[in-house]
Each structure stands twice: as structure tokens, then as C-alpha cells.
């Protein structure tokens, strides 16, 4: 531990790299979300109850994308001119987009898990009303989790030029505790659920001979896309955010972590990467919806037919097929 920390390269990281990320995300996000909304509108009746989560995921992106020009101006001009209230509002929309995206991706993974692994149990239970209710619960839960962030100061006491992503140094220790709890409930638990669902789906698809090979390939591809999304956007952001907060806590005690600049640099890069989720989410959802195959939608009917056939004429192969389904 040293008592003096070399200053990080603010010019490169905050005033060049972040604005570049924001501009790219804004442009790509407008295109992909527009494409996603158009596809959702055209195929609304064909997508099933999962379209409710797709719709809400798109809404979360739309709430966040308009804030990017303000962030771009702020980091390029090195001065926040839009007022303290709007600073907190933009940060709130960032958090709302981030954790609603994680929440709705988790809901989609659970629905696909039930439809593939437990088709009989899910039959008739995945209704539109339940999807709407779950979506409302996700919005409320994320809003409750994000609301305390707005009560932390986002600006210096004697200056209105800064709009902190987290909070000022006087409250950083309390913010670290809040951030750790937020990471656990808002990211880590949904991440485990998503990995568990798609991991089980992958095992079922690989072991089942009654499911088309194309479906297996598409499901494995979706698993890869989600793994990439979490690894590329969500995991680095939460890791470096909390490490940077911890390093700032040490600085308030006149201690400097030797990895302080590494944590800070990683956090700035991860902030840019996590914004890309609003541009990448529509691609994930379009992949999910376009490839919900007829074989999955017909699994309950096929299973009922096999059960009826086994009751009239017992066949060993039919029992094995039921077990595989």
C-alpha cells in the first residue's frame, strides 16, 4: 500500500473512450431496437406469451437510449450543465435498463426451460396474464432496488460540474455496501438462474433424439450468445464497479491500492461495454423469438398422444421417448 496514487488517465478513459462507446451504442441501439419493435409488431400473435418479456425488454432500452446524447456531451465537454435532478434521472434510467434487461432475460430463460424440459407441467400455465404480472413485478423490484441510488449525492458539494456514476467520496463506503447487495440480488442470482436454465436445456437437447438437430444447434447458439452477453457486458461491469468502490474507500483512509488504476481503467471500459446491452438485447430476443420451433410448441400434444398410445398398446420405445421428453 502506498500513500500516493498516480492519477489515472481521465482524458483517455472518460473523455474519449466513454463518449465513443455512447455514440456507437446510440446509433446501433436505434437500428436494432427499431428492427426489434418492427419484428415484434409483425409476429405478435406467433411469438406466444414470451413476447410480453420481449416488449418490456424493448421498453427498458427505449428509456435508456435517449440519455446517451446527454452523457456524450457531458464527457466530451467535461461539465454537466443539465442540473442535479436530471443527473439523478439519467443515472436511474441507466440502472433501470441494466437490471430490467437482466430480469427479463432471466424470465425468457425460465419460460424456455419450462417449455422444453417440462412441457406437460407448463402446458396451460404460461398464460398472457401471468407474463404481464411477472413483468410488472420485475419493473417494481428493479425500481425498488434502484431507488436508493438516487438518494446518494451525485455531485460535489461546491460544484455542479460533475455527475457521478456512483456517489461522492464522502458517502462511498455506504455506497459500496449498497452496491454489493445490489449486485447479489440484481445480477448474481438472476445470472445463476439463467445459467442453470440454459445449462439444463442444453443437456436435454443433446440427450434427446426426438428433437431436430437444427433446433439443437439454434438452442446451443442462443446459449453461446447469452454467455457472451453476460461475460462481455454484465460480469466485467459489476466486478470492476465494486473493486473501484473498494479502492475509493481505501483512498478515503489515505491508503492507495496498488491496483487502483487497473480497477479504475477496467471500470471505465466496462461502463462502455455494459451500455452495449441496450443494443445487443434486441438481437438476443429476435433470435429467441424467431427460433421457437414448432416441435417445442407441439411437445405437449405429442406427449399426450404417446401416453394414450401406451395405454392401449404398451411399447417399450414409447416409454423411452416419454422419458426423453
162 and 143 assigned to the same domain: yes
247, part of any domain? yes
103 and 185 assigned to the same domain: yes
- Is 268:13 a contact under the CB 8 Å cutoff? yes
- Is 31:89 a contact under the CB 8 Å cutoff? no
pLDDT of residue 103: 94
pLDDT of residue 47: 56
Instruction: Give the Cα separation of 18 and 24 in Å (integer).
Output: 10
Q: What share of the chain is helix, strand, coil (3-state, %, to 5)?
A: 80, 0, 20
For 209-245, what is each residue's pLDDT tens digit?
Answer: 766 677 677 777 777 777 777 888 899 999 999 999 9
211 and 299 assigned to the same domain: no
274, part of any domain? yes
254 and 312 assigned to the same domain: no
157 and 15 assigned to the same domain: yes
259 and 321 assigned to the same domain: no
163 and 206 assigned to the same domain: yes
200 and 316 assigned to the same domain: no
99 and 67 assigned to the same domain: yes
The total number of structural domains in the chain stands at 2
Neighbouring residues of 202: CB distance < 8 A, sequence distance ≥ 6: 219, 220, 223
> Containing domain of residue 305, as a range?
293-325
- Is 154:94 a contact under the CB 8 Å cutoff? no
Long-range contacts of 309-316 (CB under 8 A, 24+ apart): none
The confidence band for 135, taking pLDDT boundaries of 50, 70 and 90, is very high
40 and 130 assigned to the same domain: yes
194 and 169 assigned to the same domain: yes
What is the CB neighbour count within 10 angstroms for residue 304? 12
Helix (H, G, I), strand (E, B) or coil at 159: coil
> Which has the minimum average pLDDT: 19-28, 194-203, 208-217, 278-287?
208-217
100 and 199 assigned to the same domain: yes
| Backbone φ, ψ for residue 44 (5° rounding) | -55, -45
For 8-54, what is each residue's pLDDT tens digit?
Answer: 777 788 888 999 999 999 999 999 888 888 877 776 665 567 788 88
283, part of any domain? yes
| Backbone φ, ψ for residue 257 (5° rounding) | -70, 135
Residue that has been written with the C-alpha cell 446517451 in this structure: 68
Instruction: Give the Cα separation of 235 and 273 in Å (integer).
Output: 10
Q: Which has the higher per-residue pLDDT, 274 or 313?
A: 274
**In terms of C-beta density within 10 A (0-12 exposed, 13-18 middle, 19 or more buried), how is residue 169 classed?**
middle
> Which has the minimum average pLDDT: 56-65, 120-129, 173-182, 292-301?
292-301
Amino acid at each position: 500500500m502506498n500513500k500516493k496514487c498516480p492519477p489515472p488517465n481521465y482524458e483517455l478513459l472518460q473523455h474519449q473512450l466513454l463518449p465513443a462507446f455512447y455514440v456507437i451504442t446510440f446509433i446501433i441501439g436505434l437500428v436494432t431496437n427499431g428492427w426489434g419493435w418492427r419484428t415484434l409488431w409483425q409476429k405478435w400473435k406467433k411469438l406466444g406469451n414470451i413476447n410480453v418479456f420481449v416488449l418490456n425488454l424493448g421498453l427498458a432500452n427505449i428509456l435508456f437510449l435517449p440519455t446517451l446524447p446527454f452523457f456524450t456531451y457531458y464527457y466530451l465537454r467535461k461539465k454537466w450543465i443539465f442540473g442535479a435532478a436530471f443527473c439523478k434521472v439519467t443515472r436511474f434510467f441507466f440502472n433501470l435498463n441494466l437490471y430490467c434487461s437482466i430480469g427479463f432475460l432471466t424470465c425468457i430463460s425460465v419460460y424456455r426451460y419450462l417449455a422444453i424440459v417440462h412441457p406437460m407441467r407448463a402446458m396451460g400455465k404460461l398464460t398472457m396474464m401471468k407474463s404481464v404480472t411477472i413483468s410488472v413485478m420485475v419493473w417494481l423490484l428493479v425500481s425498488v432496488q434502484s431507488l436508493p441510488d438516487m438518494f446518494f449525492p451525485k455531485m460535489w458539494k461546491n460544484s455542479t460540474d460533475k455527475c457521478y456514476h456512483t456517489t461522492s467520496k464522502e458517502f462511498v463506503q455506504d455506497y459500496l455496501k449498497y452496491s454489493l447487495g445490489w449486485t447479489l440480488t440484481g445480477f448474481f442470482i438472476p445470472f445463476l438462474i439463467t445459467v442453470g436454465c440454459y445449462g439444463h436445456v442444453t443437456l436435454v437437447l443433446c440427450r434427446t433424439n426426438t428433437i431436430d438437430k437444427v433446433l439443437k444447434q439454434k438452442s446451443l447458439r442462443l446459449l453461446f450468445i447469452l454467455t457472451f452477453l453476460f461475460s462481455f457486458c454484465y460480469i466485467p461491469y459489476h466486478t470492476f464497479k465494486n473493486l473501484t468502490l473498494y479502492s475509493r474507500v481505501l483512498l478515503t483512509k489515505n491508503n492507495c491500492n496498488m491496483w487502483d488504476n487497473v480497477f479504475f481503467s477496467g471500470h471505465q471500459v466496462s461502463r462502455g461495454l455494459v451500455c452495449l446491452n441496450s443494443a445487443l438485447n434486441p438481437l438476443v430476443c429476435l433470435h429467441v423469438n424467431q427460433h421457437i420451433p414448432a416441435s417445442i410448441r407441439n411437445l405437449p400434444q405429442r406427449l399426450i398422444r404417446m401416453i394414450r398410445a401406451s395405454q392401449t398398446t404398451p411399447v417399450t420405445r414409447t416409454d423411452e421417448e416419454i422419458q426423453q421428453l
